[in-house]
Amino acid sequence: MVAPAASHGRWHTHSASVMGTQASLTFWHTDDKTASLVIQAVFDEFRRIDHTYSPYKASSLLSHVNRQASHRPQVIDEEFVRLVDKSLYFSRMTEGAFDVTYASLGWRYDYRQGQQPSETERLALLPAINFRWVALDPQSATIKFLHANVRIDLGGVAKGYAVDQAVRILKRLGVTNASVSAGGDSRLLGAKRGKPWIVGIKHPRSEKADEAVIHLPLTDTAISTSGDYERYFIDAQSGERVHHIINPKTGRPTETVSSVTILGPQGFDTDPMSTSVFVMGIKKGLALVNRLEGFDAIIIDRQGKVFYSDGLIEPH
Ligand code: AMP
Ligand code: MG
């Protein structure tokens, strides 16, 4: 007797190093051939985003804009416009806590080499940090910088956008259950074997890799975490933790919290919001999140104390 043909659905998983971080994808599919196409399409998209917006690649469109936009308006495309427009929207909403021109000075930090700008350099480049120097014209799709030393870096928004793009591809190819992440930015699609996905928030100071302090059961959500443990070095002289989230007012790494997680509908918002709340700190950050419909936050301060937005606190 021949056994009846079963539908061989199974979980597929793939990870790779891209966009300066580790990206991974897990999803359910009944057809192995289509599943390979899914992996190919998602990771091609991640590589495209990396090539277009990496500040570390001289050939990226972003690097080109950074070289030219203080001289004359640069023609970009609709996607680039949307990324900058979203960033400027967050700058206005956070009164400049989120500011992609942080890179005007931020590019002088090298976390791998343990280097930071000198005091002279900080004071010289600080005036160039101001989102108002970015003149974006969505109609003509052009960008111009109104100050000679301006540089932008979309590192606070591009990974969230990338996981949203991945979800678009997954849905188009018929995937209904998936988890996709790029560094601290993830999206969950549907459930995992009928149960929620369990996403862990890392202990900011754990010696053990990937030790989680909080586990969240999630479906159909975006979740972004910003942490001062992601990219940092300890300054030999001061003993200070020099990390990658910069206070635009001082040009120095922020000093209030160690981890911010934001939950919301899409990575395009949760990513810049996690970076924003990180800069704003507990009080102002939670006030912002509580004011917005559809978002929640979990903040861990430098002493390890955990703070939740109103939506996560059960009423008594
Ligand atoms: P995230 O990975 O979302 O935590 O964001 C951190 C990244 O955002 C950094 O690696 C920088 O590329 C960028 N960034 C740092 N400080 C700021 C800031 N104040 N506003 C906007 N982007 C920032
Ligand atoms: Mg973020």
Structure confidence at residue 7 as a pLDDT band (50, 70, 90): low
Contact (CB, 8 A) for 127 and 147: yes
CA 142 / ligand 1 centre spacing (Å):
23
Mutation to probe ligand 1, out of 154, 181, 246 (largest number of atoms < 8 A from CB): 246
Average pLDDT over residues 68-78: 98
Q: Looking up tokens 């790029």, which residue turns up?
A: 182
* 43-53: average pLDDT: 98
Distance from Cα 267 to the centre of ligand 2, integer Å: 9
Q: Residues with beta carbon inside 6 Å of ligand 1?
A: 98-100, 102, 153, 155-156, 184, 226, 244-246, 248, 271, 274-275, 279
Mutate to test the pocket of ligand 1, among 83, 87, 104, 153 (most ligand atoms within 8 A of CB): 153
Mean pLDDT of all residues belonging to the chain:
95
pLDDT in tens, 179-232: 999 999 999 999 998 999 999 999 998 877 778 889 999 999 999 999 999 999
Q: Output the 3-class SS for the chain.
A: CCCCCCCCCEEEEEEEEECCEEEEEEEEECCHHHHHHHHHHHHHHHHHHHHHHCCCCCCCHHHHHHHHCCCCCEECCHHHHHHHHHHHHHHHHCCCCCCHHHHHHHCCCECCCCECCCHHHHHHHHHHCCHHHEEEECCCCEEEECCCCCCCCCCCCHHHHHHHHHHHHHHHCCCCCEEEEECCEEEEECCECCECEEEEEECCCCCCCCCEEEEEEECCEEEEEEECCCCEEECCCCCCEEECCEECCCCEECCCEEEEEEEECCHHHHHHHHHHHHHHCHHHHHHHHHHCCCCEEEEEECCCCEEECHHHCCCC
C-alpha 197 – ligand 2 centre gap (Å): 21
Which atom of ligand 1 is the closest one to the Cα of 226? 4
Q: Which of 99, 275, 284 to mutate to test the pocket of ligand 1 (most atoms within 8 A of CB)?
A: 275
Q: What angle do CA 167, 188, 262 make, to 5 degrees?
A: 105
For residue 206, what pLDDT is reported? 85
Average pLDDT for residues 141-154, to the nearest whole number? 98
pLDDT at 1: 47
Q: What does the pLDDT read at residue 314?
A: 75
Q: Which of 94-103, 211-220, 292-301 has the lowest mean pLDDT?
A: 211-220
For position 289, what pLDDT does the model report?
A: 98
Residue 110 predicted with pLDDT over 70? yes
178 has pLDDT over 70 = yes
Would you state the pLDDT for residue 3? 47
